[in-house]
C-alpha cells in the first residue's frame, strides 16, 4: 500500500506497479496508519474544523472516493457525521491521535489528553489507560510529548520526545516500567526490529542501540524520513534528506537529487521510493 500526501491510497502489485488510480476515501491527509489483517486502519484530523476520525478499510475491496473537505464544513451534528467511504468501521475521535501501532491482532493508540487505548480488529475496545507520563523527564522541554509507540512481544513501548520510554502490559494496559534513554537530543521517532533500535533526533542524529545498549551514534545531517533494519547486512537502511544511508559500523551514503521517503526489499533487492512517486533500485 502507498499513501499520498493528501490522503490518497494506492494498492501496489508485488512488482511495485499498479493498475488502479489513487483514490481518496479520506477528506484530508492521513495522520497515522497501520495494516491489520487485510484492513488498513487510518486516522485523520482537521484542526480547523475540529473533526477527527479513525476508520478501517478492507484492502480486498475496490477503493471508493469519500467525502470532500467542503462537505465536512456543512456537517452539523454527530448524527450526520461523515465517515471515510467504503469503511468496515469508523469512529469519531474527540482528540488528536499522537501515535498508532498494531501487532497484527490488536490496535493501540494514544489520544492527546485522553489516554492510551487498545482495540480489537473489529474496533471493540479491549482496554484503556490514562495518558502516558514520564516522571523522570517531565520537567524537560517536550517531556510530555508522545512521539511514537510499538508492540514489543507482550509489551507496548511508548516514547516521548525527551527520551522517556513507558512500557505497558499489552494485555491490560498496566504500567510495567518507566525508564529514560540518556541521549542529548530531542527524539523524533524510534524504529525497532528484534533487539535493535534506532532512535532518530529532530536534527538528523541517529542512535543505534542493541539490547538497550548504545552501539553507535552518528549525524545523518538532515531529517530522517524512514528506517528499516536490513538483517542480511546487519545494518539500518535510512531514508534521509536526498540520500540513502546504510548504517553499519560507519555510515555508507549515496546521495540523490530527490528525497527518498521509504525503502522496501523485493526478492532480495532494496528499492527506494522517492517523494515524486518513483521507485529506484538502491545503490547500497
| pLDDT tens sequence across 29-87 | 999 999 999 999 999 999 888 889 999 999 999 999 998 888 888 776 666 677 888 99
Residue 211 in domain: no
Q: Total structural domains in the chain? A: 1
Q: Phi and psi dihedrals of 61, rounded to 5?
A: -95, 160
Residue 53 and residue 30 in contact, taking contact as beta carbons nearer than 8 Å: no
- Average pLDDT in the 78-105 region? 89
Residue 162 in domain: no
212-216-220-221 Cα dihedral, nearest 10 degrees: 100
C-alpha distances in Å from residue 260, one per residue of 102, 105, 218, 252: 25, 30, 19, 15
Residues written for the chain: 284
Q: Residue 70 sits in which domain range? A: 1-94
Residue 178 and residue 143 in contact, taking contact as beta carbons nearer than 8 Å: no
Residue 247 in domain: no
Give the whole-angstrom CA distance, residue 213 versus residue 134. Answer: 20
- 269: which DSSP letter? E
Residue 189 in domain: no
Q: Confidence class of residue 15 from pLDDT cuts 50, 70 and 90? A: confident
Residues 6+ apart with CB under 8 A from 134: 143, 144, 160, 162, 164, 165, 166, 178, 180
Rg (CA), the chain: 19
Entry pTM: 0.93
- Average pLDDT in the 102-125 region? 97
The three three-digit cell numbers of residue 6, written as one number: 493528501
**Angle at CA 167, nearest 5°, toward 212 and 132?**
125
Residue written as cell 489516554?
115
Q: Phi and psi dihedrals of 136, rounded to 5?
A: -70, -20
- The pLDDT tens digits for 161-215 are 999 999 999 999 999 999 999 888 999 999 999 999 999 998 899 999 999 899 9
Residue 148 in domain: no
**Angle at CA 111, nearest 5°, toward 114 and 241?**
150
State the chain's mean pLDDT as an integer.
Answer: 93
Residue 21 in domain: yes
Residue 134 in domain: no
Give the whole-angstrom CA distance, residue 263 versus residue 175. Answer: 34
Amino acid at each position: 500500500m502507498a499513501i499520498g500526501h493528501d490522503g490518497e491510497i494506492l494498492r501496489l502489485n508485488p512488482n511495485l506497479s499498479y493498475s488502479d488510480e489513487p483514490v481518496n476515501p479520506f477528506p484530508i491527509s492521513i495522520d497515522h496508519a497501520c495494516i491489520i489483517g487485510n484492513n488498513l486502519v487510518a486516522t485523520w484530523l482537521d484542526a480547523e474544523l475540529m473533526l477527527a476520525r479513525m476508520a478501517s478499510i478492507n484492502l480486498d475491496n475496490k477503493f471508493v472516493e469519500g467525502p470532500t473537505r467542503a462537505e465536512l464544513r456543512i456537517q452539523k451534528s454527530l448524527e450526520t457525521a461523515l465517515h471515510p467511504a467504503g469503511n468496515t468501521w469508523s469512529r469519531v475521535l474527540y482528540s488528536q491521535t499522537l501515535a498508532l501501532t498494531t501487532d497484527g491482532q490488536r490496535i493501540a493508540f494514544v489520544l492527546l489528553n485522553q489516554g492510551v487505548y487498545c482495540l480489537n480488529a473489529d474496533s471493540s475496545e479491549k482496554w484503556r489507560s490514562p495518558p502516558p507520563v514520564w516522571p523522570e523527564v517531565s520537567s524537560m522541554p517536550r517531556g510530555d510529548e508522545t512521539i511514537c509507540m510499538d508492540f514489543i512481544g507482550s509489551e507496548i513501548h511508548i516514547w516521548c520526545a525527551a527520551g522517556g520510554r513507558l512500557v505497558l502490559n499489552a494485555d491490560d494496559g498496566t504500567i510495567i516500567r518507566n525508564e529514560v534513554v540518556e541521549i542529548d537530543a530531542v527524539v523524533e521517532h524510534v524504529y525497532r526490529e528484534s533487539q535493535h533500535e534506532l532512535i532518530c533526533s529532530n536534527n538528523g542524529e541517529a542512535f543505534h542501540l542493541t539490547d538497550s545498549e548504545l552501539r553507535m551514534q552518528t549525524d545523518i545531517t538532515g531529517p530522517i524520513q524512514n528506517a528499516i533494519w536490513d538483517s542480511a547486512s546487519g545494518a539500518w537502511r535510512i531514508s534521509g534528506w536526498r540520500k540513502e544511508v546504510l548504517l553499519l559500523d560507519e555510515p555508507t551514503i549515496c546521495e540523490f537529487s530527490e528525497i527518498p521517503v521509504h525503502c522496501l526489499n523485493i526478492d532480495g533487492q532494496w528499492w527506494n521510493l522517492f517523494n515524486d512517486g518513483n521507485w529506484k533500485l538502491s545503490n547500497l
